Amino acid sequence: MFNEQEKKALYDVIYKRRDVRTFLSKSIPSDVLQRVLEAGHHAPSVGFMQPWNFILVKDGNLKKKLAWAAEKERKALSIHYEGEKANQFLELKVEGIKEAPVTICVTCDPTRGGSHVLGRNSIPETDILSTACAIQNMWLASCVEGLALGWVSFYKKNDVRDILSIPPHVDPVALLSIGYTEDYPSSPILEEAKWEKRRELEGLIFEDTWGNKK
Amino acid sequence: MFNEQEKKALYDVIYKRRDVRTFLSKSIPSDVLQRVLEAGHHAPSVGFMQPWNFILVKDGNLKKKLAWAAEKERKALSIHYEGEKANQFLELKVEGIKEAPVTICVTCDPTRGGSHVLGRNSIPETDILSTACAIQNMWLASCVEGLALGWVSFYKKNDVRDILSIPPHVDPVALLSIGYTEDYPSSPILEEAKWEKRRELEGLIFEDTWGNKK
């Protein structure tokens, strides 16, 4: 059982965790990084398949290549926005791969655990959902350790596979840049940039069936 | 910044959280359930799209129907196991929908936030990954509140859509049964049942490129 202080600590971390894209070059002590990885590894996984791997990218040349892949995709996507939204988009900083001391490529191996993983037989994407749970654990752990984390999702998967020599069947689910930062945001950066607002939770809850409000 | 006690609290919750399938019928106070839902709603989401809804299923008849959908799928999947594994499978309890006072269907609406959600344009499944982050937050919140949670992934999505009147474009990502339990497991139930073991984290970490061990 957990006490009130422990409850408060968990909720504080959950509420204060932010997506960060500005990092100092200061390196991360290896025991701290290890705790973040252990937190990820203790996520739930469908059929206990633990489909994740963690590629710790610290090499400057590889980081440059990953940043190139992200920048290429950012330019391609900017074509889809027009007018005011296009200007807003071009001003957003979408990643900090070159600055961050480490970027972790979190992968999902759909063959882990054999051909008939319990539960994954019904819903195959439960393997990447498990991987996302690991990422959320790593994010909360980073936050409590005073580390900033940014989830980069601007890339073509095959570019990342090519750069990090990832086999074709393995899914590079996320690039997580981790490091220290000078200003940890107090609210979501997309809210601060007036890109999107937080919705009212009340409007997202239904009772018993879709659309039913008590 | 967080202190040592707060760090310890987060890691304790992360390490002690388990998937539970045995519940007492005792109901959950509404403020506690509300905190669990708020924790989910404070998950990160791609482009801040917040694609989730939470359908709180408490009606006995609907719970029976969801349990039927899960049982049907369990029977169908049992066909895929043979010999010892088949016996092991049939002994596993895969859900506790009828006993738990509430089962939350967490859904993902891929149309939330319009046609060009920031980041989701590159990797469309980032919407369900965001939803999984919300589920992990809810799982940790449940654990710290002394509540047991079980993620049911044995169902055909269209059965759940039919039972809960979910529109065809909305993805019923998970059924989460939540309630109190008499014996919260100290280790993963699939480990206790000798179905799978926890892997060594060390073997899952690579340096710079896939397969590279320092």
Smallest Cβ–Cβ distance between A128 and the set B129, B137, B146 belongs to B129
- Mutation site for B-interface testing, chosen from A1, A14, A154 by largest number of B Cβ within 10 Å: A14
**Per-residue pLDDT at A193 exceeds 80:** yes
CB contact under 8 A, B208 and A59: yes
**Per-residue pLDDT at A124 exceeds 90:** yes
Looking at residue A70, its pLDDT comes to 96
**Per-residue pLDDT at B16 exceeds 80:** yes
For A195, the token pair is 């890109």
Kindly state the average pLDDT of the residues B180-196.
92
Looking at residue B170, its pLDDT comes to 98
For B148, the token pair is 């047991």
- Domain spans in chain B, listed from the N-terminal domain onward: 18-184
Among A148, A149, A115, A138, CA closest to A54:
A138
In what order do the strands lie in the sheet containing B171-179?
Answer: A205-207, B52-57, B102-108, B171-179, B148-152
Q: Rounded distance, CA B209 to CA B136, Å? A: 28
Kindly state the average pLDDT of the residues B17-28.
96
* pTM for the whole structure: 0.97
Look at the block and give the residue holding tokens 């027009």: A82
Q: Tell me the chain A residues in contact with residue B188 when contact means C-beta distances shorter than 8 Å.
A: 48
Q: Rounded distance, CA B209 to CA A163, Å? A: 8
CB contact under 8 A, A9 and B14: no
Three-state DSSP at A178 gives: strand
Three-state DSSP at A112 gives: coil
Task: State how far the alpha carbon of A126 is from the alpha carbons of A46, A51, B148, B152, in Å.
Answer: 6, 10, 20, 11
∠ Cα B57 B63 B68 (to 5°)? 140
Task: State how far the alpha carbon of A24 is from the alpha carbons of A71, A144, A179, B56, B83, in Å.
Answer: 20, 18, 7, 43, 56
Over the stretch A66-75, which tens digit does the pLDDT of each residue have?
999 999 999 9
For B172, the token pair is 């019923």
Q: Rounded distance, CA B12 to CA A147, Å? A: 19
- Residue B140's pLDDT band (cuts 50, 70, 90): very high
Q: How far apart are the first and last CA of chain B?
A: 32
Contacts 24+ apart (CB under 8 A), A26-35: A26/A101, A26/A179, A26/A180, A27/A101, A28/A101, A28/A102, A28/A147, A28/A178, A28/A179, A28/A180, A32/A145, A32/A147, A33/A102, A33/A178, A35/A141, A35/A145, A35/B11
Three-state DSSP at B193 gives: coil
CB contact under 8 A, A208 and B62: yes
**Per-residue pLDDT at A212 exceeds 90:** yes
Sequence letter at residue B24: L
Q: Rounded distance, CA B5 to CA B21, Å? A: 31
Kindly state the average pLDDT of the residues A194-209.
96
Q: Tell me the chain A residues in contact with residue B120 when contact means C-beta distances shorter than 8 Å.
A: 153
Q: Rounded distance, CA A98 to CA A25, Å? A: 9
Kindly state the average pLDDT of the residues B128-137.
98
Looking at residue B32, its pLDDT comes to 98
Over the stretch B57-107, which tens digit does the pLDDT of each residue have?
999 999 999 999 999 999 999 998 888 888 888 888 888 999 999 999 999
Question: Higher-confidence residue: A104 or B193?
Answer: A104
- The angle, 0 to 180 degrees and rounded to 10, between the axes of the packed helices A4-16 and B126-144 is 160
Q: Tell me the chain A residues in contact with residue B197 when contact means C-beta distances shorter than 8 Å.
A: 48
For A87, the token pair is 């200007």
Over the stretch B27-47, which tens digit does the pLDDT of each residue have?
999 999 999 999 999 999 999
DSSP state of A36: H
CA–CA min distance B191, chain A (Å): 8
Answer whether A134's CB lies under 8 Å from A52's CB.
yes
Residue of B nearest to A65 (CA): B208
Smallest Cβ–Cβ distance between A19 and the set B44, B52, B146 belongs to B44
∠ Cα B54 A130 B194 (to 5°)? 115
Q: How far apart are the first and last CA of chain A?
A: 32
Q: Which CATH architecture has domain B18-184?
A: 3-Layer(aba) Sandwich (3.40)
Looking at residue A126, its pLDDT comes to 97
Q: Which secondary-structure segment (H or E) carries A52?
A: strand A52-57
Helix, strand, coil fractions of chain B, as percent rounded to 5? 45, 15, 45
Task: State how far the alpha carbon of B129 is from the alpha carbons of A94, A133, A200, in Å.
Answer: 18, 8, 21
- Residue A169, CB half-sphere, CA atoms under 13 Å: how many? 6
CA–CA min distance A185, chain B (Å): 13
**Per-residue pLDDT at A119 exceeds 90:** no
- Residue A183's pLDDT band (cuts 50, 70, 90): confident
Smallest Cβ–Cβ distance between A52 and the set B15, B131, B204 belongs to B204
- Residue B149's pLDDT band (cuts 50, 70, 90): very high
| Residue A67 CB contacts under 8 Å (≥ 6 apart), including other chains | A95, A97, A98
Looking at residue B116, its pLDDT comes to 86
